[in-house]
Structure 1
Amino acid sequence: MQPPGRVRSLVVELEDGRTWGAYGSGELLHGRVRLELRGALRLRALEVCARGRAIVHWLESRSVGLNIVYYDYTAFQTFLNHHRQLIPDNGEVTVLQAGRHEFPFTFQLPETLATSFEGKHGSVRYWVKAKLHRPWATVKKVKKEFTVIEPIDINTPALLAPQAGAKEKLARAWYCNRGQVSVTAKIDRKGYTPGEVIPIFAEIDNCTNRAVVPKAAIIQTQTFIARGTKKQKKSVVTSIVGDSIAAGKREVWHGRALKIPPVGPSILQCRIIQVEYSLKVCVDIPGTSKLLLELPLVIGTIPLHPFGSRTSSVSSQYSITLDWLSSIPEQPEAPPEYSAVVPSPTAEQSLAPPCRSELGAVLEGPFFAYIQEFRFRPPPLYSEVDPNPPSDGIRPRCMTC
């Protein structure tokens, strides 16, 4: 029989992920199983497995006559299930001497994963478990959990599209018509990341005889699906309250700021758990229900690319070469005659069309940057009076010559 107390510790160690200390789809999961022994140990096998799954579970009670019947709603979805034999079980006993032993392992994560999540009726979890099989002894197990963050790039056309909407409501109280309230709202895009500020452009028109209060909030909706039934949980992530709008007045929000706090990203790749976000602009109307306008949001992990940084770097690159502009005199001199400067053989050669190789060198050089610099400048203003009249010593040029 195996003497007790030979195993001092059995630990699973994982290397940190590439981003935020977490892992993403398609990455390599590197780690090791560290085994410390007080004395020689006889074992049959040592295996390690990497698993990840989503689970949904809740109970619902219903009255059937005098009894209460509970219905169980449970669902599973597996994302990761890999096994590896570090010491294979070949029917023989392996003896490890006292001391510290390390067994490295590597797992390839699938291309499609769901972000780790903990909710009221379900969760998405990932872990690595090591099992030590010994003869005539129970299996010793140790588990190490890790976090997965599925990347969501908001730099896509669908998430960069503006979101807008309009809604109106007729305020009624005790069968009396008190007027109408309308709201129009717009945001510049659909995808955002935590820490960003959402500028809200809205117009609230209060045509009632009472004051109303506009509000805006980010709502998180958790949806759990099991056995064809959905269970939802909504919570307010953050909110702002606007100023009261008097009767018959209109309020305009010119980019009212709403900052996104640190929240988990949207979960869109799971079949049984979904995490969605929305921006709700509502108006509290006394004596009746609220006017609600909802705009969809997606909380991503890859922030918006700074498109303007590349343009500024290109312009700064040529800022030094444009210093010659300051040396141009305000009163330009009249040009000389073309025939007096260029002889006839040279003129005929210059009038020939340039070859393609010469054009390529010009377009790739700094001269092309000068062309781009003056490309979008407006034309000079038209005037009947010549701003630069010719002097007496300069003969005017004839266009027919």
Structure 2
Amino acid sequence: MTVKKLHIEYDAVNSRNTFTNGDTINGRIILEVSKRTKVQSLLFIAKGKARVCWTEHYGENQTHVYWSDEKYYSVKHHVIRESRQDGTEVISGGKHVFPFTFKIPDRKMPSSFQSSVGRIVHKLKAELKQSMKLKKKAKIHFMFVSKADMDTPGLLVRNRTIKIVFFTPTVCILRFSVNVCLYFTGEAMKVTIQINNASSRSVKPKLELYEKRSFFAQGRRKVETRTILKEKSDVVEGRSGQKMVTKIITVPRELTPSILNCSILKLEYRLKVSFSSDLFISGLNLQTLGL
């Protein structure tokens, strides 16, 4: 086989091996051939795109596949271009290293994401074309973490509060708030719960941080939820009057950053406070950022 190796790699810019809007990626395409070889072209390609796809079943024999794509950028650059009259270029046998530099577009784009229903990928590719032969390809994904969109309504509002009234044997009023709605992974979230317990029973509010994934295609929506963590606050005794309970929750470091800037895929984190399975409030939408 003439082509022994086609490989693409890039240099990390930080210890987390992540990139963001406007960053420059430096790397190289490595091509190794066993002898002098005719090449029509060697392309460097960078792409960012999203895709969702799922199947829904109707009855026993009817199914429908829903899918949608969204593209963010597609860049192509000739590393080797034909220069001879026969439309080829000749390279000598051995190992060849072709450096490249790619600047990620500095505009609003969603972070990398992967699931069985949808994904957002940012990747680099190399394509080698030779006459009368199949294209040879190499690719590598890089982790893109989008900068926070500070234009999101309510994102930086402090002391965001929601109030709910439960009609139990007597009225029990619950308010809860977080100090802000924008958090870095690994950061502490302060949750304040205000309870005016005029009922005869004691209550023990429970907190749940959960992930909500929404996928959109052809007028349909598919939603998935997953619990991230659960916490319990202190007990508030019956007829104890107004009490203030504070709970500190650490946002897990391994969370994928929120995705709110993609039209076909949305990743949200929500906080729910409950007394029981049928008495709860879920209304604070929190945005997380990668470190």
Residue 129 of structure 1 corresponds to: 125
Choose the corresponding residue for 1:164, options 144, 156, 161: 161
Residue 264 of structure 2 corresponds to: 272
Residue 288 of structure 2 corresponds to: 299
Residue 234 of structure 2 corresponds to: 243
Q: Which amino acid aligns with 1:54?
A: A
| Closer, same or farther: CA 251–21 of 1 in aligned 2, 3 Å | farther
| Closer, same or farther: CA 254–214 of 1 in aligned 2, 3 Å | closer
Residue 52 of structure 2 corresponds to: 56
Offset from partner CA, 1:63-121 (integer Å, 9 cap, x none): 2xxx5211111000001211111111454232211221111222232223210011242
Q: SS of the residue aligned with 2:18?
A: coil
- The alpha carbon displacement at 1:250 in A equals 4.8
Q: SS of the residue aligned with 2:156?
A: helix
The answer as to whether partners of 1:154 and 1:300 remain within 8 angstroms in 2 is: no
Q: After superposition, where does 1:152-191 map in structure 2 within 5 Å?
A: 152=148, 158-171=155-168, 178-191=169-182
Residue 9 of structure 2 corresponds to: 13
CA distance in 1, matches of 2:176, 2:183: 17
More helix by share: 1
CA distance in 1, matches of 2:257, 2:170: 41
Residue 106 of structure 1 corresponds to: 101
CA distance in 1, matches of 2:30, 2:245: 59
Asked if residue 22 in structure 1 is aligned to residue 13 in structure 2, the reply is no
- The alpha carbon displacement at 1:17 in A equals 3.5
Residue 80 of structure 1 corresponds to: 73
CA distance in 2, matches of 1:98, 1:115: 40
- The alpha carbon displacement at 1:58 in A equals 0.8
Offset from partner CA, 1:262-291 (integer Å, 9 cap, x none): 111111211111111222211127xxx123
* Unaligned residue ranges in structure 2 (runs of 5+): none
Offset from partner CA, 1:117-144 (integer Å, 9 cap, x none): 1124201011111111122322111111
- The alpha carbon displacement at 1:164 in A equals 0.7
The answer as to whether partners of 2:27 and 2:99 remain within 8 angstroms in 1 is: yes
* Unaligned residue ranges in structure 1 (runs of 5+): 172-177, 303-401
CA distance in 1, matches of 2:114, 2:198: 45
The answer as to whether partners of 2:270 and 2:282 remain within 8 angstroms in 1 is: no
Residue 320 of structure 1 corresponds to: none
The answer as to whether partners of 1:245 and 1:251 remain within 8 angstroms in 2 is: no
CA distance in 2, matches of 1:145, 1:12: 10
* Larger-gyration structure (1/2): 1
Asked if residue 261 in structure 1 is aligned to residue 252 in structure 2, the reply is yes
CA distance in 1, matches of 2:135, 2:286: 48
Q: Which amino acid aligns with 1:206?
A: N
**TM-score with structure 1 setting the length:** 0.66
For these two proteins, the number of residue pairs brought into alignment is 286
CA distance in 2, matches of 1:119, 1:46: 32
Offset from partner CA, 1:203-249 (integer Å, 9 cap, x none): 22333343433111222211111112111111121221123444333
Identity percentage of aligned residues = 23
CA distance in 1, matches of 2:186, 2:64: 41
Residue 284 of structure 1 corresponds to: 276
More strand by share: 2
Asked if residue 68 in structure 1 is aligned to residue 57 in structure 2, the reply is no
| Closer, same or farther: CA 12–101 of 1 in aligned 2, 3 Å | same
Name the Cα RMSD after superposition: 2.3
Offset from partner CA, 1:37-84 (integer Å, 9 cap, x none): 222222221112111110011111112xxx521111100000121111
The answer as to whether partners of 1:167 and 1:182 remain within 8 angstroms in 2 is: yes
Residue 118 of structure 1 corresponds to: 114
The answer as to whether partners of 1:281 and 1:294 remain within 8 angstroms in 2 is: no
- The alpha carbon displacement at 1:195 in A equals 1.2
| Closer, same or farther: CA 118–243 of 1 in aligned 2, 3 Å | same
The answer as to whether partners of 2:39 and 2:82 remain within 8 angstroms in 1 is: no
**TM-score with structure 2 setting the length:** 0.89
Residue 87 of structure 2 corresponds to: 92
